[in-house]
């Protein structure tokens, strides 16, 4: 298990007093794996892992039966197979997960408009304004759990608290398939016995720094003067962790928080040193990123590439455009140039990625053309590809250079 998943549960039962606790954190249980088990119920109760089965694959999701063996997300598949050889491996079906995720987020919207998705399988909800219509927060949490099971065939865990931070801890505490309330007047009773690694932002490096101060639990941290924490961790981090140690988190639930970046990456089955093949993969990734930009109504100004060598050394390069774009050919042109300028042409690569940042709303009516883009050309062609993909599947229409086998000598 990961460090965060090793956090022990507090022993005391805090009860169900939800007075002053309008914030819910709803988190699906083993989301990808649970979606797969809807269609393969005979696998329920068995250790199941979702992920690419190849040697370079990683675990995307694992049932709790597999997690008991130490399997966790982002673990290399080779290690997962080694520690849990009896696991059933299921290749991922991302389109299916996206469809379920959209349905779940729409379900949340029937309870409150104050929904802040933080991942495809979790969200914060502020149900303070729904009390008169639907009842107490804990009752709303029960209704959400019942509807997720009834309408989507999977389970979720819900934390109820007076802040986003405490609601997130509460949902983690009751996994899987649970509901837990942290009463507003018992926040420190719940929080202080936890190890300091339970706090947001406490990674291994920060944990080592706190250990030097004699801090092992959240209660220990709460007893350290803020000035001492700031000297050790810096002004901002010291102040933030001191506030969290007392359960203080003033951040509101922000509906429809905008994406900060959109990207895609690919880990090769074997290291690739052929520049033509690398550029072909960059084009494929640019197509995926551009489609996601258009689907979300975004355009971006900063394009970056990630290039990971065989020894896991990672090189990142970025470039900003004069105008934001959602056109794959523009993204690919920048990504290709960044790869050429990286000095890694001919060097074996394990992974490549393309990401777009500095996002803006895409407004086709007022949008200026990117350098080299025709008035009626790539963007219209890619929009037509979007329509074909929605009707016939993502691979229904592809650039010629992505069709296998590639044309002789073609260099995308």
For 408, left (φ over 0), alpha (ψ -120 to 50), or beta? beta
Annotated binding residues, written as ranges, equal 27, 121
Ranking 10-19, 53-62, 270-279, 325-334 by mean pLDDT, the lowest is: 10-19
Terminal C-alpha separation, the chain:
42
DSSP 8-class letter at 11:
S
What pTM does this model have? 0.68
Reported as a pLDDT band with limits 50, 70 and 90, residue 407 is very low
- Region 306-311: what's the mean pLDDT? 91
Reported as a pLDDT band with limits 50, 70 and 90, residue 410 is very low
Q: How far apart are CA 300 and CA 294, in angstroms?
A: 10
pLDDT of residue 388: 53
- Contact between 363 and 375 under an 8 Å Cβ cutoff? The reply is no
Reported as a pLDDT band with limits 50, 70 and 90, residue 62 is very high
Q: How far apart are CA 212 and CA 195, in angstroms?
A: 15
Residues acting as catalytic residues = 122
Question: Does residue 296 carry a pLDDT above 60?
Answer: yes
Q: Which long-range contacts (CB under 8 A, 24 or more apart) does 271-278 make?
A: 271/310, 271/348, 271/349, 271/350, 272/348, 272/349, 273/346, 273/347, 273/348, 273/349, 275/339, 275/345, 275/346, 276/406, 276/410, 276/411, 276/412, 278/339, 278/345, 278/349, 278/352
Place of tokens 């982002």: 74
Place of tokens 């790539």: 378
What domains, with CATH codes, occur in the chain?
Answer: 1-184 (3.30.70.270), 192-245 (1.10.150.20), 261-402 (3.30.1490.100)
Tokens of 357: 């940042």
Annotated binding residues for Mg(2+), written as ranges, equal 27, 121
Q: How far apart are CA 108 and CA 158, in angstroms?
A: 12
Q: What percent of the chain has pLDDT over 90?
A: 65
Residue bearing the bigger pLDDT, 24 or 15: 24
Q: Which helix (H) or strand (E) holds 360?
A: strand 349-361
As a whole number of Å, the CA-based R_g of the chain is: 24
């Amino acid at each position: 298990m990961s460090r965060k998943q090793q956090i022990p549960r507090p022993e005391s039962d805090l009860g169900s007093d939800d007075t002053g606790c309008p914030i819910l954190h709803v988190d699906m249980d083993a989301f990808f794996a649970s979606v797969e088990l809807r269609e393969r119920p005979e696998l329920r109760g068995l250790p199941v892992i979702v992920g690419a089965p190849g040697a370079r694959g990683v675990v995307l999701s694992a049932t709790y039966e597999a997690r008991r063996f130490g399997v966790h997300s982002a673990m290399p598949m080779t290690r997962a197979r080694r520690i849990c050889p009896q696991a059933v491996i299921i290749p991922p079906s991302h389109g299916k997960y996206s469809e379920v995720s959209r349905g779940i987020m729409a379900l949340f919207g029937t309870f409150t408009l104050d929904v802040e998705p933080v991942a495809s399988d979790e969200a914060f909800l502020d149900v303070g304004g729904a009390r008169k219509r639907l009842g107490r927060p804990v009752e709303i949490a029960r209704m959400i759990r019942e509807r997720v099971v009834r309408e989507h065939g999977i389970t979720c865990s819900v934390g109820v608290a007076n802040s986003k931070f405490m609601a997130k801890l509460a949902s983690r505490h009751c996994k899987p398939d649970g509901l837990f309330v942290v009463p507003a007047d018992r926040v420190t009773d719940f929080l202080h016995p936890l190890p300091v690694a339970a706090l947001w932002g406490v990674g291994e490096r920060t944990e080592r720094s706190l250990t030097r101060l004699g801090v092992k639990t959240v209660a220990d941290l709460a007893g350290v003067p803020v000035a001492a924490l700031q000297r050790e961790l810096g002004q901002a981090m010291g102040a933030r962790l001191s506030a969290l140690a007392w359960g203080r988190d003033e951040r509101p639930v922000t509906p429809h928080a905008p994406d900060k970046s959109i990207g895609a990456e690919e880990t090769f089955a074997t290291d690739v040193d052929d520049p033509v093949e690398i550029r072909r993969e960059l084009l494929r990734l640019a197509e995926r990123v551009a489609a996601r930009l258009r689907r979300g109504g975004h355009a971006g100004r900063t394009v970056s590439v990630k290039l990971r060598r065989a020894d896991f050394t990672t090189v990142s390069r970025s470039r900003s455009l004069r105008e934001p774009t959602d056109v794959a050919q523009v993204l690919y042109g920048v990504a290709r140039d960044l790869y050429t300028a990286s000095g890694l042409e001919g060097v074996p690569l394990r992974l490549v990625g393309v990401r777009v940042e500095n996002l803006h709303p895409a407004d086709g009516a007022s949008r200026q053309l990117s350098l080299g883009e025709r008035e009626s050309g790539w963007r219209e062609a890619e929009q037509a590809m979007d329509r074909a993909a929605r009707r016939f599947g993502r691979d229904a229409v592809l650039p010629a250079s992505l069709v296998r086998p590639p044309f002789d000598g073609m260099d995308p």
